[in-house]
Amino acid sequence: MLRRRALAACTATVAVGALALAGLTGTASADPSPAADAPAAGADRLSPGLLKAMRRDLGLTAGRARARVDEETRAAAVAAGLRHSLGAGFAGARVSGDAAELTVATTDAADTARITEAGARAVVVAHSLAELASAKDALDRVALHRAPKDIPVWYVDVRTNRVVVEAGRGAAADTFLASAGVSRQLVTVSQSTGAPRTFTDLRGGDAYYMNGSGRCSIGFPVKRGTQGGFVSAGHCGTPGVSTSGYNQQAQGSFQGSTFPGRDYSWVAANTGWTPRPLVNGYGTGDVTVTGSTEALEGSSVCRSGSTTGWHCGTVQQRNSSVTYQEGTVSGVTRTNVCAEPGDSGGSFVSGSQAQGVTSGGTGNCSQGGTTYFQPVNPALQAYGLTLVTNATPTDPTGPPIDPGGSWAAGTVYAAGDVVTYGSARYRCLQGHQAQAGWTPANVPALWQAL
């Protein structure tokens, strides 16, 4: 584990990771637009610290960084529309390059014209995303009962249209696949000597300490009703463990924690701590969080940690599974962002959108590495939490009029969920936590009218 125990020095090798970007569903339109009405990615409000990290790690000037985040947001909206309109043939979407060129895969060659008309590059592949996800789910079920030996990571790779299983030994991969009943035709086995571990005692965002014996980082401030607190990594503590803040003052205690299986937790803070919609910018300006809309594979993503500060990279695979010494964690997102001990639990953001909390990985920030984050939306949903943001209603002149229906601000919606708003029904296109003003009628990039 990479939790920093007490204040003792740790090695620079990176620990386990759990990050994930959930799949994007799309609009029913056969010609999804770039969706200028998508929720703002905050490209015009990127903090100086984040821009500096994107320049260092991605080679982007401030202008190019803002343009990339904006284009990635638009690409996600188009991909969401195509996912729904292509139906069972949809085989994944990704962006590439500074211009965020969108590629959409399908199993049906007849869909290529529709994809091209929407402004994306079409690729015809053998396996649908649903087929690959089903195979990975079978592997997850086996790992849930017993973590596989010599199998550190497995994930769906939309770029290669395969389930990738990283293994220390080929025989271990064969046993794992056979136990799950997964065909080798769907799988690429990759040799790996990595040994992921949790980022316990790492810091993403502000540091906090657990019972005086370890250090982790705050992920994102949250509320449950009037109770303030924050989400972090599950491996950082168990319910009842007390916490103190970066200033060593009493802070709160863990109310919920899941690890392994998933890697998320939430801490309730005492009244001396006020949750803010910010991520520590480490002297270069804090990042303001405006929502939690999921980013596409290939999108830029940045991490804030108390040990290593800001570092950036790209989302490689969502819905990954990784085996730590303590057991398997599924549903995390794999990135090429580096991290080191003490960064555990820290914030991953794309633009101004919260993505997840640092779980673990391999490598370090001197030589590079792989880090996984636990997506934030499942953590919010698991504990009934509301992300603290600065999102404001679209009409600030007075209290919003409630037309009735099942849609509610603060609720975590997954792609495919159906709600009512007034007399209309809507289907969720991209996973997110609803914010005031982001009503289905106002944000067609997130909701499709039925």
- Give the separation between CA 114 and CA 107, rounded to whole angstroms: 13
To the nearest 10 degrees (0 to 180), the angle between helices 129-145 and 170-180 is 100
pLDDT, position 28: 34
Please tell me the predicted confidence (pLDDT) of residue 11.
Answer: 34
Taking the whole predicted model, whether its pTM rises above 0.85 is answered as no
Structural tokens at position 96: 């590439």
For 187, how many CA atoms within 13 A lie in the half-sphere containing its CB? 25
Q: Return d(Cα 240, Cα 203) in angstroms, integer.
A: 21
Give the Cα separation of 165 and 188 in Å (integer).
6
Stated length of the chain: 450
Confidence of residue 123 (pLDDT cuts 50, 70, 90): very high
CA atoms within 13 A on the CB side of 433: 27
Cross-strand partners of 372? 334, 360
Specify the amino acid at residue 70: D
For residue 25, the model assigns a pLDDT of 30
Catalytic residue list contains 140: no
- How far is Cα of residue 410 from the mean position of the Cα atoms in its chain? 18
343's CB contacts (< 8 A; 6+ apart) are 2, 199, 202, 203, 204, 217, 303, 305, 306, 307, 308, 358
Q: What is the mean pLDDT of residues 409-419?
A: 91
Q: Is 263 a catalytic residue?
A: yes
Catalytic residue among 57, 111, 263, 343: 263
10-39 pLDDT tens trace:
333 333 333 222 222 333 333 444 343 444
- Per-position DSSP letters for 336-374, written without gaps between them: -----TT-TT-EEEETTEEEEEEEEEEEETTTEEEEEEE
> Which one-letter amino acid corresponds to residue 393?
P
What's the rounded Cα separation, in Å, for the pair 125 and 159? 10
For the stretch 61-99, pLDDT in tens is 999 999 999 999 999 999 999 999 999 999 999 999 888
* Mean pLDDT, all residues of the chain: 85
Phi, psi of 242 (to 5 degrees): -85, 155
C-alpha torsion 168→300→377→84, nearest 10 = -100
Q: Do 85 and 62 meet the contact criterion of CB atoms below 8 Å apart?
A: no
Contacts of 353 (CB under 8 A, 6+ apart): 39, 41, 42, 289, 290, 291, 292, 293, 294, 295
118 class by beta-carbon count within 10 Å (0-12 exposed, 13-18 middle, 19+ buried)? buried
CA pair distance 145, 143, nearest whole angstrom: 5
Q: What is the pLDDT of residues 370-389, one digit of tens each?
A: 999 999 999 999 999 999 99
Tell me which of 85, 300, 304, 344 is the catalytic residue.
Answer: 344
- Does residue 365 or residue 195 have the better pLDDT? 365
Question: Quick one: tokens of 41?
Answer: 């990615």
Residue 1's pLDDT is what? 44
